[in-house]
Structure 1
Amino acid sequence: MTDATLTLPAPAKLNRLLHIVGRRSDGYHELQTLFQFLDHGDTLHLRRREDGELRLTPELPGVAREENLIMRAARLLQTESGCRLGADLRLEKRLPLGGGLGGGSSDAATALLGLDALWGLGLSLERLAELGLSLGADVPVFVHGHAAWGEGVGERLTPVVLDTPWFVVIHPGVAVSTPGVFGADELTRHTPPITMARALQGGAPSWRNDCEATVRALYPPVAEALDWLSARAPTRLTGTGACVFARLARESDADRLLGEIAGRWQAFKARGLNRSPLHDVLGR
């Protein structure tokens, strides 16, 4: 790593718990959730340019370059800071689109923190999270870089310490539309709010995802993966899906489960983390 280049992780997240406690007048939903990072995700390579240009490679299928959250984050940071530097940005994409793992939001957060370092801006995490929120509700948790209890649309964050088991994550081969799930008539929207302390006291066996029943109904491949995996280990949907995850005590258990999955679905194993690996690399 030099002053002019950076290679940074953009980790996945899981929603260990997701409750929908109301719907706002603007159509957004009020949530309560527990975010946790994984030691698996995308990688973003950044090289500083002196000419102010921003170049991103490669293009993602179905995503226009200027609509990519990495480019939007980079242009927003340029505009808000008045910085005249640019960057070459190259993404190694591992996380599936529409998977509920926060890939686009994590990429945006890594771009914000990475360019802040590359350009020597010195902005606070609070300011970078504020910019990130304008890009997406999940961006701030990746900017702050700690497992968190989230409320509001997921942007009001309180750091927490969660257990750090192994997870096996299955991608059922479909992309779930988040607006489609949140717009579904049958979605549970009035789960009674609970305190963070009560959620943590109940622990993982009591946690659930209010989107799961709706996603099951709308996306049969997700339902199939949930049924198969839950017969073998405690299993849940993350976010609005499509990915589903099983919690396992030992890495050997995760390896054994991956062996059963081989050839059936795309899947990976990962360790749960309370601190983002992005912050470890940057020393934030």
Structure 2
Amino acid sequence: MTLTTLNNCPAPAKLNLFLHVNGRREDGYHLLQTVFQLLDHGDTLHFTLRDDAQLVRVTDLPGVPQEQDLIIRAAKLLQAEVQRRTGALPRGVDIAIDKVLPMGGGLGGGSSDAATALMALNRLWNAGLSREELMALGLPLGADIPFFIFGENAFAEGVGEDLQPVSTPDCWYVVIEPGVQVPTAAIFSAEGLTRNTEAVTIADFSRHLAERNSANGFGRNDLQQVASSLFKPVADAVEWLGAYGEARMTGSGACVFGAFSTQEEADEVLSNVPPHWSAWKAKALKQHPILSML
């Protein structure tokens, strides 16, 4: 039976458990090291084949024109690749999205949406691309996209595309959305950004985890100081959540997270979050919910 729809496809959030800037390449891209953690919280996408070749986002996303949306751009790349391989343009698709993750939050929302689109359409179109081929297809659109297609928690290096699977703590996270969008470019171009943090290894992270049963205390987010100085709500959220344990910003911000051993601990903290912030809890995932599609 030929599939014509794929509904309820998750696009999970990610956290950067630490994020180090080790240098900058001649082309301006920064060299990073990080551990990506998948969360059981995110957007949901729905795909329905059309009778023409159009790719249509049927959900309005304020501030994101369809032609700029990473979902549509990723779908166009895969559609063109299928045509190149088979000589035939695959059917168009209506794409709906239940948008939960904030933009400019450091949670990888746009990249995760694009990755889910690539994985789902690879299946819907019977395109047959491997995980590695989809990762390579998505990389030009965003350095985080290959991680979501990789589908496992990962130690990442380079621009973020050099990935190795890594074990991470089985815990709960509380995430605060401070209510500001942090533009990534502004953080990476800031004069005060640390760009020479000494490199660590995956073994260093794994050893720390084995000794403490927690990622807390390993490294830092080199972007946090700059983001906190430019956006006071980020600094305020770090300070508030820090009263309950280590609090860190994820990615280039703005969201701030803390790790907790149990759901009950997470709930206790959530119940105290000031009402002017959005906040939620999420369980750590070991792998992407639709990794089995590949």
**Residue aligned with 1:164, SS:** coil
Asked if residue 255 in structure 1 is aligned to residue 243 in structure 2, the reply is no
1:121 corresponds, among 121, 127, 134, to 127
The 2-side partners of 1:230 and 1:151 are apart by 28
Task: Quote the residue 2:189 is aligned against.
Answer: 183
The 2-side partners of 1:221 and 1:278 are apart by 34
Contact 1:138/1:155, CA 8 A, preserved across alignment = yes
Counterpart AA for 1:35: F
Q: Shift of the alpha carbon at 1:168?
A: 0.4
Contact 1:11/1:278, CA 8 A, preserved across alignment = no
Spell out the pairing of 1:39-188 with structure 2 (5 A cutoff): 39-82=40-83, 83-188=89-194
Task: Quote the residue 1:30 is aligned against.
Answer: 31
Q: Percent identity?
A: 51
Which string of whole-angstrom CA distances, capped at 9 and with x for unpartnered residues, describes residues 150-194 of structure 1? 001100000111112100000000000100000000000000111
The 1-side partners of 2:236 and 2:22 are apart by 27
Counterpart AA for 1:6: L
Q: Shift of the alpha carbon at 1:244?
A: 0.3
Q: Shift of the alpha carbon at 1:36?
A: 0.8
Asked if residue 4 in structure 1 is aligned to residue 4 in structure 2, the reply is yes
The 2-side partners of 1:87 and 1:186 are apart by 45
Runs of 4+ with deviation above 2 angstroms:
none
Residue ranges of structure 1 left out of the alignment (5+ in a row): none
The 2-side partners of 1:179 and 1:224 are apart by 22
Q: Shift of the alpha carbon at 1:270?
A: 0.1
Which string of whole-angstrom CA distances, capped at 9 and with x for unpartnered residues, describes residues 6-42 of structure 1? 1200000000011000011111100000001000000
Moved more, 190-199 or 133-142: 190-199
Q: What TM-score do the two structures reach when normalised by structure 2? A: 0.93
Contact 1:100/1:241, CA 8 A, preserved across alignment = yes
**Residue aligned with 1:206, SS:** coil
Computed over aligned residues only, the root mean square deviation of the Cα atoms, in angstroms, reads 1.3
Task: Quote the residue 2:212 is aligned against.
Answer: none
Q: What TM-score do the two structures reach when normalised by structure 1? A: 0.96
> Number of residues paired by the alignment?
282
**Residue aligned with 1:239, SS:** coil
Q: Shift of the alpha carbon at 1:75?
A: 0.6
